[in-house]
Amino acid sequence: MKILITGGTGFVGSGLSQRLLELGHEVTVIGSSNHCRLASHPQLTYVSADTTQPGDWQQRVAEQDGLVNLAGRSIFNLWTAAYKKSIYNSRILTTKNLVAALPANTSAVLLSTSAAGYYGDGGETEKSETSSSGTDFLAQVCRDWEGEADKATAKGARVVLMRFGVVLGKGGGAIATMKTPFQMGLGGPIGSGNQWFPWIHRDDLVGAILFLLTAEECRGPFNFCAPQPVRQKDFAHQLGAVLHRPVFLPTPAFVMKLILGEFGRSLLQGQKAIPRALTESGYLFTYPELQPALKEIFGG
């Protein structure tokens, strides 16, 4: 297949690109850097572009069999008004431009990222793909993001909406942010720690994308989360155990809100998301449980 990936040099995109190339696919990566951070490969084409703007990069879209839309600014930052606008535009405008570049009557498949944050603060309620969305900022971003991707169906594309949980893996992602305080013995739960923590190992995320690229009957939303969600405090204790470090006292909720504002409040929320659509479609998880996933990442 010929596959184009927006945001293809990030933590998820780099792993996906490598796997696709290993399987013999032709991969076009769109990234914001002037130089490609991926290893050179005869089947790899890199295009530097700002995907929030229309441009020459869109000419690559029509020739693809599959499109994987991963572009988006990180949410792990202080949410000023300007940064919230950047979070929103990097996702919605990129998706709008990607869909606009699709020809009429296309046979391509579009796999577009969303997030478990679609469900807002889910409390104790299990969230499958048919559950309603939340009302906070991230939920609004996800609704609009998915809405832009869904417009590709009018052009004949098969659209898959990937609602990512927290992605865990070697060399980047959430683990890269979390491991330092835990290695120093300062890691611990956030707030009460009772909030649900939807997670997925990067190998399973990539595996699910490969599965859905060719599963012609699959369309619509899919929760990209392991089938065994855990509470945030249980995640903290299991991460500490794998690193052989004590788990420190919880970070009080008021501190998170005081220092990080709206972003801090979002970290105190959780979603008990389950991958019902993936499992019912036949995808088999390599890492359905957290402890084996963490041991693989840290070589335990």
Q: Which residue has the tokens 């942010």?
A: 177
- The count of domains in the chain is 1
The whole-angstrom separation of Cα 48 and Cα 219 is: 30
Q: What is the CATH number of the domain that holds 155?
A: 3.40.50.720
The reported pLDDT for the residue numbered 259 is 52
Residue 239: the pLDDT is 83
pLDDT at 237: 83
pLDDT at 249 (0 to 100): 59
Say what the pLDDT of residue 270 is: 84
* CA-closest candidate to residue 207, choices 22, 4, 55, 40: 22
Residue type (1 letter), 227: P
pLDDT at 100: 98
pLDDT at 248: 64
Strand, coil or helix: 165: coil
Three-state secondary-structure class, residue 161: strand
Contact 215, 281 (CB under 8 A): yes
- Residue 116 is part of which domain span? 2-167+198-226+272-286
- Per the CB < 8 A criterion, the answer to whether 64 and 2 are in contact is yes
244 found inside a domain: no
What residue has token string 């220092």? 259
CA angle centred on 23, ends 28 and 292, rounded to 5°: 105
The pLDDT assigned to 216 comes to: 95
Domain annotation covers residue 98: yes
Structure tokens at 296: 């693989």
Asked whether the beta carbons of 201 and 291 are under 8 A apart, the reply is no
Predicted pLDDT at 186? 55
| Strand 230-231, strand 196-197: pairing | antiparallel
> Does residue 48 contact residue 33 with C-beta atoms inside 8 Å?
yes
The answer to the question of residue 193 being in a domain is no
Beta bridge partners of 160: 111, 220
Residue 184 has a pLDDT of 58
Does any domain span residue 32?
yes
pLDDT tens string, the chain, 300 residues long: the values are: 999 999 998 899 999 999 999 999 999 999 988 888 888 999 999 999 999 999 999 999 999 999 999 998 888 777 889 999 999 999 999 999 999 999 999 999 999 999 999 999 888 999 999 999 999 999 999 999 999 999 999 999 999 999 999 899 988 777 766 666 666 555 666 777 788 889 999 999 999 999 999 999 999 999 999 999 999 888 888 888 887 777 665 655 555 455 556 555 566 678 999 999 999 999 999 999 999 999 999 885
Is residue 151 assigned to a domain?
A: yes
Please indicate, yes or no, if residue 241 is contained in any of the structural domains.
Answer: no
pLDDT, position 251: 59
Residue 126 within a domain: yes
Element (H, E) at 31: strand 26-31
Q: What is the pTM of this model?
A: 0.92
Alpha-carbon distance values, 131 to 123, 141, 144, 209 (Å):
13, 17, 16, 22
Does a structural domain hold residue 249? no
Contact 235, 226 (CB under 8 A): no
